[in-house]
């Protein structure tokens, strides 16, 4: 289970890590740049630039005819939606589900909805400087088709197809829909509510299935859909030697901690969410999401805590990416959403000049998306383990700090609520150390930010921190990282030091005074 599960060993049944909502996008990269490649494609099809508008209308009509044939084969029809919602305010997904349920939820294509949306498309314009026509990409409102499937493998999903050149594709799947189909085929029992599994009979086997799915060859899967829906794909591939290039537009990974008993989880929620709201600062959120705070960073970090039906939710934003925690029945879910992949880093191949590079959006990096988001969830859960949500363990930990440890020589006691001790505890619980660990120099730079006046003073500060580290180890607040010179905070240390900080800054702040 990890550290969070160790706090509630008799109440949690396990955890499930699984990608949730994923949006893929397909681009005909061989048609770009438009001024050269697309013009060459038109030339290969014997289409003059001046005739492009008529050619655009003809290909749009042929695309619709192909979809109508597919709809007839699937026993459905194309329905037009004038806006983002239906007549009664339903979303496209709700309208499609109503159509599918009326048919008994058959397998395969179940509904096609068309709607006007804004997206970049190819246009032909006159270049006054050069004195000739050329193609370019401009935003415009035109028809898009949403093709909904009850797929044999992925369950409920849709493909969004642009009706004009360059015929961009967008594909949505839900990992929990896929997992439900897989468990049914493997005869693994489960209890599901909406998009959450409250109980799974063979959790280790199911987790292995999820991890294996993250290595899927997505190009082959989505190229099959592209060939079915875009009738011009064969001639495009023959002309420019490239088909669709697939990217990950949005990626969600959820870690569900299964409590099994909704009442037990509900009893923990108020304090758990309020403590996380108070304890996790901007730097912690950046570390959870794999970023390091620097003077050059100019982005935005935001946190919101909401209490609404059916429960609690806290959400942290780091620019376009986010990390949130909420409850769903008897599950506590931590979920990372990646909308901007290049804010994360991944290892480079051996022999490269740099160890890390920005994470690309291509689907070949799906495993790195999964691993990055899953690790962010786990860091958040590990940090939650330090929050003093259970009074007795926190008080026992504080009592231990107030007593000398060991025998000869004994480890001196702490004054856990003193200014010096709380400054030390706050430094040790920084989010950056959760990710990388810390060493003597790191603590010196935080506790004594002013540079030492001479080498002798630097030596005295180093020795002072060394004594503090020995004292912290004696109280089992920190432990060495194997095969390194780094230290990390123990689970006991997080509980004890967080309790001390909470008592000093929340329960008994500085402006609080006892009556005389």
State pLDDT tens for residues 50-77.
999 999 999 999 999 999 999 999 889 8
Q: Check: CB of residue 333 under 8 Å from CB of residue 326.
A: yes
Continuous H helices in 103-193: 175-185
Query: Which of 250 and 446 is assigned the larger pLDDT?
Result: 250
Q: Check: CB of residue 386 under 8 Å from CB of residue 426.
A: no
- As a dihedral over the C-alpha atoms of residue 479, residue 483, residue 485, residue 488, rounded to 10 degrees, the angle is -30
Query: What are 52's strand-pairing partners?
Result: none
| pLDDT tens profile 243-275 | 999 999 999 999 999 988 888 888 878 877 877
Q: What is the mean pLDDT of residues 176-190?
A: 93
Q: Check: CB of residue 324 under 8 Å from CB of residue 316.
A: yes
Query: pLDDT at position 371, please?
Result: 94
Give the pLDDT band (50/70/90) at residue 150. Answer: very high
Query: pLDDT at position 409, please?
Result: 66
- Look up the pTM and report it: 0.78
pLDDT exceeds 90 at position 169:
yes
Cis upstream peptide for 33 (omega within 30°): yes
Cα dist from 447 to 206, 383, 428, 465, whole Å: 46, 22, 10, 9
* Per-domain residue ranges of the chain: 1-21+175-222+248-385, 29-167, 391-507
Contacts of 402 (CB under 8 A, 6+ apart): 413, 414, 415, 416
Q: What is the mean pLDDT of residues 340-347?
A: 88
Contacts of 471 (CB under 8 A, 6+ apart): 411, 412, 414
Give the pLDDT band (50/70/90) at residue 146. Answer: very high
Task: Provide the token pair at 38.
Answer: 């697309």
Q: What is the mean pLDDT of the chain?
A: 86
pLDDT exceeds 70 at position 90:
yes
Give the pLDDT band (50/70/90) at residue 511. Answer: very low
How far, in whole angstroms, is CA 426 from its chain's centroid? 27
Question: Which DSSP state fits 503?
Answer: I
Query: Which of 347 and 68 is assigned the larger pLDDT?
Result: 68
Q: How far is the C-alpha of 377 from the C-alpha of 166, rounded, in Å? A: 37
Query: What are 119's strand-pairing partners?
Result: 140
Q: What is the mean pLDDT of residues 494-506?
A: 77
Query: pLDDT at position 512, please?
Result: 41
| pLDDT tens profile 195-241 | 899 999 999 999 999 999 999 999 999 999 999 999 999 999 999 99
pLDDT exceeds 70 at position 516:
no
Query: How many other CB atoms are found less than 10 A from the CB of residue 129?
Result: 5
Packing angle of the helix pair 262-279, 491-502 (nearest 10 deg): 70
CA atoms within 13 A on the CB side of 175: 28
Query: pLDDT at position 422, please?
Result: 87
The class of domain 391-507 in CATH terms is mainly alpha
pLDDT exceeds 60 at position 427:
yes
């Amino acid at each position: 289970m990890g550290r969070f599960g160790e706090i509630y060993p008799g109440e949690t049944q396990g955890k499930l890590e699984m990608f949730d909502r994923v949006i893929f996008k397909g681009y005909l990269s061989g048609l770009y740049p438009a001024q050269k490649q697309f013009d060459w494609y038109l030339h290969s099809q014997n289409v003059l630039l001046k005739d492009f508008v008529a050619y655009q209308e003809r290909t749009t009509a042929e695309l619709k005819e192909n979809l109508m044939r597919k709809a007839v084969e699937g026993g459905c029809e194309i329905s037009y939606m004038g806006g983002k919602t239906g007549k009664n305010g339903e979303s496209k997904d709700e309208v499609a589900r109503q159509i599918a349920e009326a048919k008994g939820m058959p397998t395969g294509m179940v509904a096609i909805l068309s709607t006007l949306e804004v997206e970049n498309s190819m246009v032909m314009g006159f270049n006054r400087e050069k004195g000739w026509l050329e193609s370019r990409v401009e935003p415009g409102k035109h028809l898009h088709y949403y093709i909904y499937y009850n797929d044999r493998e992925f369950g409920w999903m849709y493909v969004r197809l642009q009706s004009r050149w360059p015929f961009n594709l967008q594909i949505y799947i839900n990992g929990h829909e896929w997992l439900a189909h897989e468990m049914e085929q493997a005869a693994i029992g489960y209890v599901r509510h909406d998009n959450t599994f409250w109980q799974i009979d063979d959790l280790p086997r199911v987790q292995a299935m999820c991890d294996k799915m993250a290595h899927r060859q997505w190009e082959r899967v989505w190229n099959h859909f592209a060939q079915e829906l875009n009738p011009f794909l064969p001639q495009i591939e023959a002309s420019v030697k490239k088909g669709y290039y697939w990217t990950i537009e949005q990626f969600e990974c959820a870690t569900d901690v299964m409590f099994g008993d909704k009442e037990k989880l509900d009893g923990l929620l108020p304090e758990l969410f309020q403590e996380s709201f108070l304890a996790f600062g901007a730097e912690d959120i950046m570390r959870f999401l794999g970023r390091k705070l620097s003077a050059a960073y100019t982005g935005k970090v935001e946190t919101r805590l909401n209490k609404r039906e059916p429960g609690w939710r806290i959400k942290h934003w780091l620019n376009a990416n986010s990390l949130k925690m909420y409850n769903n029945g008897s599950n506590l879910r931590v979920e990372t959403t990646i909308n901007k992949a290049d804010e994360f880093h991944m290892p480079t191949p051996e022999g490269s000049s740099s160890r890390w590079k920005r994470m690309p959006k291509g689907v070949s990096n799906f495993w790195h998306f999964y691993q990055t988001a899953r690790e962010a969830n786990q860091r958040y859960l590990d940090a939650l383990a330090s929050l003093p949500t259970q009074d007795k363990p926190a008080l026992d930990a504080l009592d231990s700090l107030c007593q000398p440890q060991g025998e000869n020589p004994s480890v001196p006691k702490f004054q856990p609520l003193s200014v010096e001790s709380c400054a030390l505890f706050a430094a040790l619980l920084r989010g950056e150390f959760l990710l990388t660990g810390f060493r003597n120099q790191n603590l010196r730079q935080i506790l004594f930010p002013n540079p030492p006046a001479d080498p002798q003073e630097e030596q005295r500060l180093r020795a002072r921190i060394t004594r503090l580290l020995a004292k912290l180890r004696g109280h089992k607040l920190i432990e060495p990282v194997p095969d390194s010179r780094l230290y990390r905070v123990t689970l006991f240390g997080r509980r004890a030091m967080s309790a001390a900080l909470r008592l000093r800054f929340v329960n008994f702040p500085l402006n609080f005074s006892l009556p005389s």
